[in-house]
Homo-oligomer: A and B are copies of this chain.
Amino acid sequence: MPPEKNQTQGEGYLAVRTVIELTRTMDLLEDLLARHFAHFNLSQPKFNALMELYYAGEEGLPLSELGQRMLVSRANITGLVDRLERDGLVVRVVDPKDRRVIRAQITPRAVQLIHGVLPLHMDLLKRATSSLNIEEKETLIRLLVKLQQGLDKL
């Protein structure tokens, strides 16, 4: 086999390996987080939505705003808020100033839930990344951000 061919294959190999290892890592991570959230009848999307509403405060957020912050389509926000409302973690309130707008607000019960879950969640993330030392985490973050910048352009 000619060496140029080898180089080309090597280049492709690293590209494929990069994507494969990224995928494997996220699969493991998502699995871990899903198992963690399941203990509280939560999921990653539910948790993310609750965190947004938690930091948004009393007035909550319009569904459209919540959707944009979560990078999720409007159609799905409807369903997600449906489920959170069914669980008693969120209420829908019509905005009096613009009756097209429906705001999602967090309930006291959800605030209590978040206060219970958040410390455990932080612990889990620390444990999940504990196989890397501080320098390695910083390097990983730097490389991921650089990779993202390349991906953004495509």
Q: Which residues of A contact B (CB under 8 A)?
A: 11-12, 14-19, 21-29, 32, 71, 122, 125-132, 134, 136-141, 143-152, 154
Contacts and interface: CB of A to CB of B under 8 A. Distances in A.
9 contacts: A25-B148, A27-B71, A28-B152, A29-B151, A127-B154, A131-B150, A132-B147, A136-B143, A140-B140
Given A140-B147, A149-B131, A152-B28, A126 B11 contact: yes
A132 B143 contact: yes
Count of chain copies? 2
Nearest to A124: B154
A144 to B, nearest CB: 4
A4 to B, nearest CB: 15
Contacts of A148: 21, 24-25, 28
Contacts of A149: 131
A37 to B, nearest CB: 13
Given A71-B27, A139-B139, A151-B29, A19 B125 contact: yes
By Cβ-Cβ distance, the 3 closest A-B pairs, closest first, are: A131-B150, A21-B144, A28-B151
